[in-house]
Chain A
Amino acid sequence: MAGRGKLIAVIGDEDTCTGFLLGGVGELNKNRKPNFLVVEKDTSITEIEETFKSFLARDDIGIILINQFIAEMIRHAIDAHMQSIPAVLEIPSKEHPYDASKDSILRRAKGMFSAEDFR
C-alpha cells in the first residue's frame, strides 16, 4: 500500500460533486484536468462517456463514484468494465433514488442465480 495512493473521481450532478469536493477528493492536475464532472442538463451523453472512459484509462484513479441516473445513460460502458480497479460505485442522486436492481455489480451478482447455472 506504499506510494501516494489513488484518487476518487466523481461524475454527478452539481450537489453531489460539491459534496464530494467539500470532502476533499477534488484535484486539478498539471494539465488542469479535473477528476470530476458536473453533469448539467445540457451535458451530452458522449461527453459523459468520454469522461468515464478517460477516468478508466487514468492510472491515478482508484474509485469512480457516479450517480445512478448518469450510469444508466452509459450502462454499456459500465457493464463492459470488468476490472477491480478503478472500482465503480453507483450512488443515488437528488432526483433519482437508488435502485439496487439497476446497479451493475448487483445485477452481475444476481446473474449468478439464473436457471442456466442450475441445470
Chain B
Amino acid sequence: MGVEVTEVSLRLDELLLQFMDQLELLEDRKRTLNSLIEEGWFAISKARYAMGNKSVSALQYGSEMEPLVHVHHRALETGEVAFRTERKELQPPGGFPEEIGPKEEGMRRRKTNKPKDPTEEPQEPQQASLLKDVSRQVGGQPQPQDPLKWFGILVPQSLKQAQSNFKRVIELSAEVAALQTRLMATRREMQRSLQEKRELLTGKEEQ
C-alpha cells in the first residue's frame, strides 16, 4: 500500500511541475499575443489618421467574405487538442490576365423559332442541367478577395502592417488555444491522481 501511495505522490509531483511549465508557457504566449494585438491597433490608428476618421471602420467591410484562414484540430489521446492554422494563398495581382469573352465553353444552342416537337420534350431538362454543370466547373468557386481591398486600392503602409500583425496573431491564437487545452488536460489528470491518492490514504487509515 505504501509503495502505491509513493508512486501516486511522485506522479503528482511530476504532473505539478508539468502544469507549472505549461502555465508559464501559456502566460508567455499570451503576453506575445497581446502585444501583437496592441501593435496591430496602433497600426490601424495610424492608417485611420492617414486615410480619415471614417475610412477604417466596420462600414468598409466587404459584402462578400470568404475566410482565408482555417483551423484544423486533432484530438490527442491525452485529452489535448492540437490546433493548426492553414492560410489560403491569394492569387498574385496580375498573375493571370483577366479573360475577355464568354466564359462558357462547349456548344451553345441557337434559339430557333421551330415549333416544339413533343418527342424532344424529355431531353430539355437534361441538356439544361448539363450546361449548368459545365458553367459551374468552368466558373468554379469565386476567388477570395484580399480584405485590404475593402479599404481602397492604394492603402497606407500602416494598414498593411496591421494586417501582417493580425496574421501573426491568428497563427499564435491557434498555439494559445492548444496550450489552453493541454493545461486543462493536465489539470484533469492531476485531479484524477489526487482522488486516487485520497482513496489510497483513506483505505490505509481504515486498515
Contact = CB atoms under 8 A, between A and B. Distances in A.
12 contacts: A5-B72, A6-B71, A8-B71, A8-B170, A15-B41, A23-B69, A25-B170, A27-B67, A28-B63, A85-B81, A87-B83, A106-B23
B73 A62 contact: yes
Nearest to A82: B184
Name the residue in B45, B147, B180 with the highest tally of chain A Cβ atoms < 10 Å from its Cβ.
Answer: B180
A35 B174 CA distance: 17
Interface stretch (B30-38, B94-102, B110-118): B30-38
B154 to A, nearest CB: 16
A78 interface: no
Nearest to B57: A14
Interface string A104-115: 011011001000
Closest A-B pairs by Cβ, 10 of them? A5-B70, A24-B68, A23-B166, A87-B177, A62-B71, A1-B72, A26-B65, A19-B166, A27-B67, A22-B163
B5 interface: no
Contacts of B66: 27
Interface residues of B, number: 62
Is chain A's interface secondary structure helix, strand, loop, or mixed overall? Answer: mixed
A46 to B, nearest CB: 20
A24 B69 contact: yes
A88 B186 CA distance: 18
B43 to A, nearest CB: 9
B167 A23 contact: yes
B131 interface: no
A66 B27 CA distance: 17
A91 B176 CA distance: 11
B61 A26 contact: yes
Contacts of B30: 98, 100
Given A5-B70, A23-B167, A108-B187, A92 B38 contact: yes
